[in-house]
Structure 1
Amino acid sequence: MEGIVTQALSNGLFRVELENGFLVLSHLSGKIRRNRIKIIVGDRVKVELSAYDLTRGRIIYRM
């Protein structure tokens, strides 16, 4: 799903507001960490949601 980063937390965690209005706590994927892509508040990102907990996800792409 796509969303907008609303808050930057510590240790690579971000609060992301999805298109449908839900807030998700997301961490960075390994590919984003490895390529040192910076994520700041206001960025549009693609988030992969956890199948077990829909309030958590992984940022996989920065648009």
Structure 2
Amino acid sequence: MTRTRKGVEVEGRVVECLRSGMFTVELENGYRVLTHISGKIRQNFIKIYLEDRVLVELTPYDLTRGRIVFRYRN
């Protein structure tokens, strides 16, 4: 069973690493968003570091919180 993504996807850069897999990401438009790691990234042990470029999925209900769904290679 696959889930369809119903959020807004934007690119950003990790500016702060918080505890428990939470990150602060600065989006391309300058906004800062509190994000957490998606389940697939956690399952595959993909590490997220400061200054990494990531793809963030935001829900249409709360644009201040999101989920990191992809980490771009440098």
TM-score range, shorter chain: over 0.9
**Following TM superposition, by how much is the alpha carbon of 1:17 offset from its aligned partner in structure 2, in angstroms?**
0.1
C-alpha separation between the residues in 2 aligned to 1:37 and 1:51? 26
Q: Which runs of 5+ in 2 are unaligned?
A: 1-9
Q: Which runs of 5+ in 1 are unaligned?
A: none
AA aligned to 1:14 is F
C-alpha separation between the residues in 2 aligned to 1:61 and 1:34? 13
**Following TM superposition, by how much is the alpha carbon of 1:59 offset from its aligned partner in structure 2, in angstroms?**
0.1
Q: TM-score w.r.t. structure 2 length?
A: 0.84
**Following TM superposition, by how much is the alpha carbon of 1:44 offset from its aligned partner in structure 2, in angstroms?**
0.2
Q: Give aligned-pair identity as a percent.
A: 62
Which residue does the alignment assign to 1:47? 56
Kindly indicate whether residue 30 of structure 2 is the aligned counterpart of residue 21 of structure 1.
yes
**Following TM superposition, by how much is the alpha carbon of 1:51 offset from its aligned partner in structure 2, in angstroms?**
1.5
AA aligned to 1:3 is G
Aligned residues: 63
Once the two structures are superposed, what CA deviation does each residue of 1:13-62 show, in whole Å capped at 9, x if it has no partner? 00000000000000000000000000000000000002211000000000
Q: TM-score w.r.t. structure 1 length?
A: 0.98
Q: Tell which structure's C-alpha radius of gyration is larger.
A: 2
